[in-house]
A = this chain, B = another copy of it.
Amino acid sequence: MGSLTMIIVMHQDATADEVTLVVDRLKTLGADVQVTTEAGQAVVSGTTESLLAEQGPWKDLPGVERVVPAIPGGRKVGRQFKSIDTVVRVGDVDIGDGSMTVVAGPCAVESRDQLLTTALAVKAAGAQILRGDAFKPRTSTYSFQGLGKPALEMLAEARDVTGLPFVAEVLDPRDVEMVSNYADMVRIGTRNMSNQALLREVGKQSKPVQLKRGRAATVEEWIDAGEYVSAAGNGQIVMVERGIRGFDPVARNTLDLTAVAIVKMQTHLPVMVDPSHASGRSDLVAPLARAAVAAGADGLMLDVHPDPSVALVDGPQALLPSEFAQLMTEVAAIAAALKRSV
C-alpha cells in the first residue's frame, strides 16, 4: 500500500559511475536497491514508500535508457518491462522461440538401467530435454526421497549417451550449487514456489530455471515468485503449469490452461505444461498435452517410465515409451496446424 517499485534500465554503454549515481539517488529515498544485468544492460530496481520516487527526473540522469512506468506490481519479468519474448537456452535447446519443446523422462531416477532405458526411448521419440529427479519432495517423511547425488551422476551419464541436456529439481538452498553443477537446468517444484530462500539461491546461479506453479498459487503470486528469481540475478526462467488444487477428486489436480494464456500475456517468459503431474492419471495425459499445445504453451514436460507398475514415485501418471511416441505425433500435428515446429 503506497510502496512503489522503480525499475530503471541503463544504456548498454552506461558507466559504472552512472549506475552508482542512480543507485545512490534511489537509496536516498529509502529504497533497498538491487542491480542486475539483463541482455547486457544494467537494471537498477528498488522499492520505496516515498512519493518523490515517481516524480524524480530519472530519465534525465546520465546513462539512463528508460524507466519502467512505476505502477504498483511493476516487475522485470513483466511485458511492461520487456515486450519481446525471452528465449531460454538449455544446453543447445531453445525454449520460447516459437517451437514446441518436449521434456520427458522418469519422475524419479530409480536406477541406472531405468534411467538409460527411458532416456534412449524419449530421445528416439523426439524429446529434446531429459527429466529425472535426484531429490523428491514427498508428502510423507517415510516415502522414498530420491537417490541424491548418485542420481545426478547417472543423469550426467544419460546426457553423455543421448546428447540430451537434463533438468533436475532442487529442494534445499544448500544443494543448489551441487545440482547446478551437474544439471543443464534446475527446477523449483510446486511445494517450494513460495520458498523464497530457495528462489533467491537459484536466482544467484547461472543455469536456467524451471519454476513450477504452487498448487494453490494465483497467477499473480506465481509471477511474483518468478520475480524473486529474476531480481536475484537470473532471468532465464521457464514457467511450468502443473495443475491447481480443486474440489473434484476425479483427478489429482485441475490443469489450468487459462493461466498459460495469461502468463504469456503478462510476462515475456516461456511457459510449459506438465500434464502428468496435473492429472496423476496416464489416461488423461494425451488429451491434456494436446490441449496445452493448442492453448499456446511453449513446451510440455511428461513422465515416461519403462514399467509404470513398478515405479517408486507417481507410476499411475507415467506414459509407456510407446504411448509417448504416439503422443509426440499428435503434438506435432497440432503444432503444425498452428504453424509451429516441434
- Please give the residue numbers on chain A whose beta carbons come within 8 Å of chain B beta carbons, in ascending order: 1, 3, 5, 45-47, 73, 137-144, 171-174, 191-192, 194-198, 215-216, 218-221, 224, 227-228, 231-232, 244-251, 254-262, 265, 278-279, 283-284, 287-288, 290-296, 315, 330, 333-334, 336-338
Contacts and interface: CB of A to CB of B under 8 A. Distances in A.
Contact of A228 (B141, B251, B259, B295): B141
Contacts of A232: 141
Contacts of A73: 140
B192 A334 contact: no
Copies in the complex: 4
A219 B246 CA distance: 12
B256 A262 contact: no
Contacts of A337: 333-334, 336-337
Given A139-B220, A244-B247, A261-B288, 10 more contacts: A137-B196, A138-B196, A141-B231, A171-B197, A192-B195, A216-B247, A219-B248, A248-B259, A257-B291, A291-B294
Contact of A216 (B172, B215, B330): B215
B256 A284 contact: no
Nearest to A1: B315
Nearest to A203: B141
A9 B215 CA distance: 36
